[in-house]
Amino acid sequence: MSRFRSLTPRRKKNHTLRAVSAKAAWGRRVLILSGFVMACVVGYYLLPQATAGWTTIQHVSISGAKFMKRGEILSLLDLPPDATLWTVEASKLEERLQGHPWVASVSVGRAFPNTLAVVITEREPVAAFQHAGGKLFLDQEGVVLSIVSEEATAGLPVVSGLSAISLLQGDPSTRDRARLGVTVARVLRDKFHGLLHIDLENSNEVIAETKDVTFLVNQHIEQTWQQYLALEPTIQAGNPTAPYEIDLRYSDKVIVRQRG
């Protein structure tokens, strides 16, 4: 009995010590949490000021642009004078640039310190569209790129026979015809490297003229061209007299005729 009585004060002492230790631990947690909250508050107000020197946009790095001018790109970005790498929204800047007809794709990113990085993939001009008012660039999708000088279109296949207004307005059927013309030009350019003219005026056929040979083709050019390549050695062995015409509008035959 006396033994149990002697343990009671010890238990009370241990309980008291544990209570004191728990209060001290809780106090430390509160102190740490308070310090963390205060650090967050101070950081929220002071960090932007402390980092402003190396986040303020002082330079715009532009890569991939061959036809678009730097000033034109900066104008589209329309950055405010106090813009920083934290305040600009890359997605919105990309949307502004994506609306330009020359831009196929664009990426805007941050490059510390002080630099906004713009990477542009431009549409490639693959043909010159001839119309009454001059020439326009077309890309491989038949998209009109811009009005250009005579020098800039030198060497490109020339496409004609479409409505410039319909093409500029993005009319689907006109765009499809332009795309077909570009496809014909691409196929023939693999074989003929001189001046190439693609006439799209007739909706039932495409007339492709090289220096000595005129091709009559349609929307199945990529299939019928293989027929021509298979027969080309035989055709050349016959020594056709230039200028001559090759009709590839049929799926089962290739017609060669003298051009008057």
> SS in 3 state form for 140-174?
CCCCEEEECCCHHHCCCCEEECCCHHHHHCCCHHH
Residue 77 to residue 45: CA distance in whole angstroms? 28
Per the CB < 8 A criterion, the answer to whether 209 and 242 are in contact is no
Q: Is 57 helix (H, G, I), strand (E, B) or coil?
A: coil
Per the CB < 8 A criterion, the answer to whether 166 and 151 are in contact is no
Maximum Cα–Cα distance for the chain, whole Å? 134
Per the CB < 8 A criterion, the answer to whether 118 and 62 are in contact is yes
Q: What pLDDT is recorded for position 4?
A: 43
DSSP-derived secondary structure letter, 3: H
Using the structure block, give the residue that is written with the tokens 């091709």. 215
CATH architecture of 56-122: Roll (3.10)
The residue ranges of the chain whose pLDDT is under 70 are 1-31, 33-54, 147-150, 152, 260
Q: What pLDDT is recorded for position 46?
A: 52
80 preceded by cis ω (within 30°)? Answer: no
Amino acid, res. 212:
D
Q: What pLDDT is recorded for position 132?
A: 85
Amino acid, res. 69:
K
Q: What pLDDT is recorded for position 24?
A: 57
Q: What pLDDT is recorded for position 79?
A: 94
Per the CB < 8 A criterion, the answer to whether 57 and 116 are in contact is yes
157 preceded by cis ω (within 30°)? Answer: no
Q: What pLDDT is recorded for position 161?
A: 95
